[in-house]
Structure formats: structure tokens, C-alpha cells
Amino acid sequence: MECVFGLVGNDFAIVAADTSAVHSILVHKSNEDKIMILDSHKLIAASGESGDRVQFTEYVQKNVALYQFRNGIPLTTAAAANFTRGELATALRKASIFVAVAIYNKALPCPGLYKGGITSLPVYCITHRTRDAALLISNPYFVNILLAGYDKETGPSLFYIDYIATLHKVDKGAFGYGSYFSLAMMDRHYKSGMTVEEAIDLVDKCIMEIRSRLVVAPPNFVIKIVDKDGAREYAWRESVKDAAVPSA
């Protein structure tokens, strides 16, 4: 039920994300910031499996910083988006080897490679008729990303990056169940070259739509903006605050 959406204005890009961290039926926290500041003029709004989300976005952030130190100039938004997509694409098909060796009728997978856990069933390869078997499994990052940035030469831009390494440069984009509502809202009200006030108004319309129409709607949202002055937090939209614990 994670909602992430964003749009491009006249000289800025804006992204909004819900701030709920959910595990099955439990809400861990309702003020989780899912929009990372990638560098001075880039934002990465990510949704999906929370471990992957933090791990992958931090990995991209550090590699973007490394590029800047190595080369003396920052990456363009498009370059950062292509790098991000490349990493997702690699993780998708560059498989790691899962080896199950049957010893005394127990299968022992290579520790750390198999996502599912240790199995104690005997293993058998049907085609080669051996009790040893090796499987190639891929390990994709389950993270959907909206990358917003501002470049001096080309202005604001927004990139839609899917967990299976789709890359699109877009004017408006959204992920999650909330996208059904926010995309429809943006399709109706978006026009190119909006001002910050108009864009925030549209973002608020989308949030209201999600809150009222999505069955398990996240209560709180964070909005971040990137323009020529840099990437920064714009506002929070909270309808539920963490209850304060009375002092003993």
C-alpha cells in the first residue's frame, strides 16, 4: 500500500511519498522518510521492500558521491537514472549460483546466497540423475524509484524506474496502489510549466484522493522539491501523529 508519486513543474520537480513502514498487519512507524536526497540537486523516492529500499538507495547515493570526487563534477540526473537502472538490470539477470549438495540425504545450500532459507530435503537433479545440483538464481532488488533532479543546463527532470529496470523519462509518474488514484488525478489536472503553488495544490488533491479512496490508505505523506537552489524537504502532510507517551 505504499504510495509514491511525482511531477515536473516549470523549473522544479516535486515528489511525494507516504511515510508508513508496514510489516503484515503491523505499522512499524508512520514517519518513515522514503525520499532520499541523492546529492545537492537530486531526489530519489523509493517504494517497495524496505530492506532493499534503504540498501539500494544508499548504494546509489554513495556511488554518485564517488563519481563526483573522481571526476570533479556531479552526475546529470539522466546519468544517475541510467546508472540506477543499470544496477537494477544487472541484479536481475546476473545470477548467483545456488549449490545444494546432498550429504547424508541432507541438502546444504551455500550460506548467504539462497534467499528462502535452509532446506533439509534431499536434492536430486532429474536431468543429470545426480544427487548434487546447482541452480542459478537471480536476486532482483524489489524497489520502485522515482528519481527527480535539476540540472543547470537542462532544467528539472523526473525518471520512472521500475524494479525490473524499466526506465522512462516522464512529466508525471506514480507507483503502488495509490498510483491508480494519483495518476488519474494528475492526468486530469496536470499541465506543463506549473508553478510551485499549482503543483502543491495538485499533490494535495492526489493525497486527498488516496486517503479517501484507498482501502488501507497511508495516513501521512512527505513532500520534497528540487529546483535550482537544490533538493530539500517541502512539507509533511500528517493526519495521524505518533501518540505522545505521558511521562511517568
Partner 1 sequence: SVRKIVSLDDHIALACAGLKADARVLINRARIECQSHRLTVEDPVTVEYITRYIAGLQQKYTQSGGVRPFGLSTLIIGFDPYTGVPSLYQTDPSGTFSAWKANATGRNSNSMREFLEKNYKETSGHDTIKLAIRALLEVVESGGKNIEVATMTKEHGLRQLEESEIDAIVAEIEAEKAAAEAAKKALAAPKET
Q: Among 20, 16, 22, which residue's Cα sits nearest to residue 30?
A: 20
Q: Taking phi first (over 0 means left), then psi (-120 to 50 degrees means alpha), and beta for anything else, what does residue 117 get? A: left
- The least CB distance from residue 66 to partner 1, in Å, is 5
**For residues 187 and 87, what is the distance between their CA atoms, to the nearest angstrom?**
30
> By C-beta, is 70 or 188 nearer to partner 1?
70
- Which stretches of the chain bind partner 1, using CB under 8 A? 58-59, 62-63, 65-66, 69-70
SS3 80: helix
> By C-beta, is 11 or 58 nearer to partner 1?
58
- The least CB distance from residue 180 to partner 1, in Å, is 35
- The least CB distance from residue 232 to partner 1, in Å, is 18
Burial of 128 by CB count in 10 Å (0-12 exposed, 13-18 middle, 19+ buried)?
exposed
- The least CB distance from residue 59 to partner 1, in Å, is 7
Element (H, E) at 81: helix 77-93
C-alpha cell at 77: 540526473
**For residues 233 and 215, what is the distance between their CA atoms, to the nearest angstrom?**
28
- The least CB distance from residue 13 to partner 1, in Å, is 25
> By C-beta, is 62 or 168 nearer to partner 1?
62
> By C-beta, is 62 or 213 nearer to partner 1?
62
> By C-beta, is 69 or 104 nearer to partner 1?
69
Q: What's the gap between Cα 199 and its chain centre? A: 22
> By C-beta, is 58 or 233 nearer to partner 1?
58
- The least CB distance from residue 103 to partner 1, in Å, is 34
Give the C-alpha distances (Å, rounded to integers) separating 191 from 9, 105, 127, 172, 194.
9, 65, 58, 10, 6
